[in-house]
Copies of this chain bind each other. A is one copy, B any other.
Amino acid sequence: MTELLLKVQKREKLADQLYGQILEQIVSGNLGEGTKLPSENEICASFGVSRPVVREALRKLQSDGLVYARQGVGSFVKKRPPQGLIEFGGVNDVAGLLRCFEARIAIEGATARMAAERASVRHHREIENALKTLEDGVAAGDIADKADLDFHMAIARASGNEIFLTILNSLHGVMQKSMNVALNITRSGSADRAKRVLAEHRQIYDAILGRDGDSAELMMRYHLHQARQRVTDHARDM
């Protein structure tokens, strides 16, 4: 049977420590997909923390899509992020990255809808230029995170609400890192995967150009959701 191994530690943010340790064991494969985690009581005892700390850690693993709960039964490992992910960024970066996608889904879903409803011809051209640079990069075997970022910023600008732009600018660092990770994964993936990443961007662009707010929001949410999946899904090439 797989076993959850915990180093007992006492520091500021115990829940984050616990989150990190469990995440590492999921990534290493010590806790495989579908494995049932020990009960809250058992984790309390073996990690030497109170129940609220355990619950907070489990809630974060759940909201990051790594663990799921079945009522009255317990918590189970949902999926195993690729080993390279942690090598790339460390446990804290991974956590930050996943939460960045969650926030972006809410924010950029709204900017895409507004861009569809309000973009001027000049905005359309800006978004199109970023898309072309992205496509050219892929054709040349070199996907640039800058073009990806430009694409999303051009849409925020087209939303006509500068506050969204300010917010995305404040997330700039995390976004660029997350695009880097995502694009790294894309680069190491098949040509098929790169094609799909481009197709997702094009669908957003088409919906904005067609002034279809519903589709634009849907396509942006779908794209960010898939990008998030590409980060955490172990070796699944789609």
Contacts and interface: CB of A to CB of B under 8 A. Distances in A.
Interface of A: 40, 52, 55-56, 59-60, 62-63, 65, 68-72, 78, 99-100, 102-103, 105-107, 109-110, 114, 117-118, 120-122, 160-164, 166-167, 170-171, 174, 199, 210-213, 215, 218-219, 221-222, 225, 238
Given A63-B160, A99-B162, 13 more contacts: A52-B120, A52-B121, A56-B160, A63-B114, A63-B118, A68-B211, A78-B210, A99-B161, A102-B161, A163-B171, A163-B174, A166-B170, A215-B225
Instruction: Give 6 nearest A-B pairs by CB, closest first.
Output: A106-B110, A103-B163, A99-B161, A222-B222, A59-B118, A99-B163
A229 to B, nearest CB: 9
A96 to B, nearest CB: 8
A133 B60 CA distance: 30
Contacts of A213: 213
8 contacts: A60-B160, A63-B117, A63-B160, A69-B71, A70-B211, A103-B163, A167-B167, A167-B171
Nearest to A163: B103
A164 B199 CA distance: 29
B122 A52 contact: yes
Nearest to A212: B65
Contacts of A72: 40, 72
Contacts of A199: 238
Given A163-B100, A167-B170, A120 B56 contact: yes
A52 B213 CA distance: 21
A160 B78 contact: no
Contacts of A109: 106
A222 B218 contact: yes
B56 A164 contact: no
A59 B160 contact: yes
